[in-house]
Structure 1
């Protein structure tokens, strides 16, 4: 912990801190001298006179253990802190520096006595890789300072003095963008494999998944017949269309994630994003191996593939409006260089109200992300836009509102034009 903390210290005053309050990020920075800046909004509006604020940043050097501990820390704080402590997600980053984002939590203690809070924090820092800071209001109420917690003898010189808290401009994009590559979205077999391999000691099921993985040569094999991927949100008609295409073209129908991962999906869905996304990324390579084998004999239809994995991950990592997404053309949207590329990707789209009506009629249980689609309009827009921005190959959008047969005929025209079937 000390080594990781020391690596942060020389950059401390260059970092920006982001706290999510009421669904919106609030940004602040710290500096050694105060020049009359205003109090950042989250301190000026949200903190009362007797409140004390704290931040906890998870600083473990091992990103798998850091991801695991980040989720566990939230549960620990919610369980042990006073109900008057209002916990919010927090991050710290160096502007425009990829991979610089570290995550944690921010809270204010409104209990009027900090004894319980300090006991909880003391327990956390004794056992866990966490950098804790406390924040103090000046006598005039117009200045806040940040200092490491607890103040102790032998404190590192760089952190022995207070830093003044000042407002910071919002970055040009959501800070999570800095860590999307090979954290939320994986762009090679090796990157995703390394994450699950490191999970072997803490998640026994990871070993079973690794045993299913193909060799690299098999995952790269190019099939002789066309490979058509059908993408779209739930209830856009993917199942009906893919089964009709299978029957019409005499094709093989595959699904991603592959059936062989079903026994472990519920287990990995409980894991933090880094581990969960690596699991689903590797599922695409298993599907790619199946495509390579079947595509030597017949056309292959695939119900979802890498586009879904990436679009949902990007939309989840980056909250807020569409403007927070990585810019169009960003490397975030590139296809993995070692993953088999389909001949055609069709994205089925549907009016949101019609999609909800179809979901109600199906009466099926929904994943957490599909539930989020229903009540979060912005999340749905981010997913759909991320789909459209992925390249290599890009999606061809098809309106799924006509009858199933009309949609089938439209997609068959596309296949005949692009795949010569």
Structure 2
């Protein structure tokens, strides 16, 4: 018998709660779970109130972009009336069992209605019923019996599916060793191994994002194999409000170096458009921006040193932190392939990571009034996301990031950075 489908629910604070639906005995009373097997499951899936699962296949091949856009649209719908009084948490269905949550990743959400009203149930069924096939999310409703045991009922949309009365037991399961269930999918979804993988994503978007073709046209004009010149190339990374802009400008002036940015000006005008898209599209845009910058680096490093304000490490660190639910403990371990520099991307001589304390960042952010990307706003509001980005930066290698404390005065930080550039091995 195939193992039952499993789910990972992200709890406040970054913990992941893993559970299976079904198992030995299958659906029906013969497979009844023990009463109250896990207090956290009871708190999120049982009374008072009512909880629902909505998960859909992540898609494969040409379907992955459409699936990602459907999921983003579903999230937006679940954040509006009549669901505003409900709690919405990330929920990931994963294999190996068949059916909802099995046979691959099925991202989605847990919607908890503290009132447990019929209006929410009715609105959810209308919402899911209006979703076209393929890609319609599976809607499950959780309930507890008189003993406190938890069950899930699948709602059957018009035209077929499981019987409305069928229900399966909900059972806690241990966290799957050794990695977060979504880690194997990272290279396919947000941390692209090479230029072709990122380009393939944007090609799927040209029919509904005209700017995607413009980005592809610019990338196609870049040579596939570019080499760094004889002068030094330094990438400077850091979270928002770590002083990165000030440092890059000061270092560039001190070394008489060219200052480049990723994404470069030739596509930066479309940044807001792609920032509104799902992660797979957004990350493909930023990844291709790195290849455009690499072409500029190759030209400029022939005649002088080059400073790059953000490069591949920034793209990868934000992508990993955003894509993996849970806290920093669920990131891939150091030396995992996802932290390795792409083999076809021009590599800098040195990568410096500016760091400041969370308290210092808050002070610097106050009153800035600058436009923020979605991830930068998340950094300010979500300490767990900030920790994940920081740790992902620290695990990058080939090349790794060399940390620089950016808390002192501007002049002190500048001198420290210049010292690191002149003696990078220290």
- TM-score, scaled relative to structure 1: 0.85
Q: Distance in 1 between matches of 2:345 and 2:356?
A: 29
Which stretch of structure 1 is more off in the superposition, 24-33 or 365-374? 365-374
Which stretch of structure 1 is more off in the superposition, 287-296 or 206-215? 206-215
- Conservation of the 8 A alpha-carbon contact between 1:218 and 1:292: no
Q: Which residue of structure 1 aligns with residue 53 of structure 2?
A: 55
1:170 matches 2:186: no
1:147 CA displacement: 4.1
Q: Helix, strand or coil: the match of 1:180?
A: helix
| Alpha-carbon displacement from aligned partner over 1:78-124 (angstroms, at most 9, x marks no partner) | 446555654432111137xxx93221122345114644443333223
Superposed, 1:58-97 pairs within 5 Å as 58-59=56-57, 60-61=59-60, 62-79=63-80, 81=82, 86-94=87-95
1:149 CA displacement: 1.9
Q: Helix, strand or coil: the match of 2:332?
A: coil
2:42 pairs with one of 37, 41, 44: 44
2:398 pairs with one of 384, 392, 395: 392
Q: Helix, strand or coil: the match of 2:307?
A: strand
1:206 CA displacement: 1.0
Q: Cα distance 1:258–1:164, how it changes in 2: closer, same or farther (>3 A)? A: same
1:283 CA displacement: 0.5
| Alpha-carbon displacement from aligned partner over 1:314-340 (angstroms, at most 9, x marks no partner) | 222234432221111111111111111
1:127 CA displacement: 7.4
Aligned residues: 406
Q: Which residue of structure 1 aligns with residue 291 of structure 2?
A: 285
Q: Which residue of structure 1 aligns with residue 144 of structure 2?
A: 137
Superposed, 1:295-334 pairs within 5 Å as 295-334=301-340
- Conservation of the 8 A alpha-carbon contact between 2:9 and 2:90: yes
Q: Distance in 2 between matches of 1:88 and 1:288?
A: 39
Q: Distance in 2 between matches of 1:331 and 1:161?
A: 42
Q: Cα distance 1:248–1:141, how it changes in 2: closer, same or farther (>3 A)? A: same
1:148 pairs with one of 134, 148, 154: 154
Q: Cα distance 1:272–1:299, how it changes in 2: closer, same or farther (>3 A)? A: same
Q: Distance in 2 between matches of 1:356 and 1:82?
A: 32
Considering only aligned residues, what root-mean-square deviation do their CA atoms show, in Å?
Answer: 3.2
Q: Cα distance 1:286–1:153, how it changes in 2: closer, same or farther (>3 A)? A: closer
Q: Helix, strand or coil: the match of 2:200?
A: helix
1:302 CA displacement: 0.9
1:313 CA displacement: 1.6
Which residues of structure 1 form unaligned runs of 5+? Answer: 1-9
Which stretch of structure 1 is more off in the superposition, 187-196 or 375-384? 375-384
Q: Distance in 2 between matches of 1:46 and 1:382?
A: 25
Q: Which residue of structure 1 aligns with residue 214 of structure 2?
A: 208
Q: Distance in 1 between matches of 2:161 and 2:383?
A: 47
1:27 pairs with one of 10, 15, 18: 18
Which residues of structure 2 form unaligned runs of 5+? Answer: 97-102
Higher helix share: 1
Q: Which residue of structure 2 aligns with residue 220 of structure 1?
A: 226
Q: Distance in 2 between matches of 1:362 and 1:82?
A: 34
Q: Distance in 1 between matches of 2:365 and 2:157?
A: 55
Q: Which residue of structure 1 aligns with residue 411 of structure 2?
A: 405
- Conservation of the 8 A alpha-carbon contact between 1:39 and 1:165: no
1:168 CA displacement: 1.5
- Conservation of the 8 A alpha-carbon contact between 1:200 and 1:206: yes
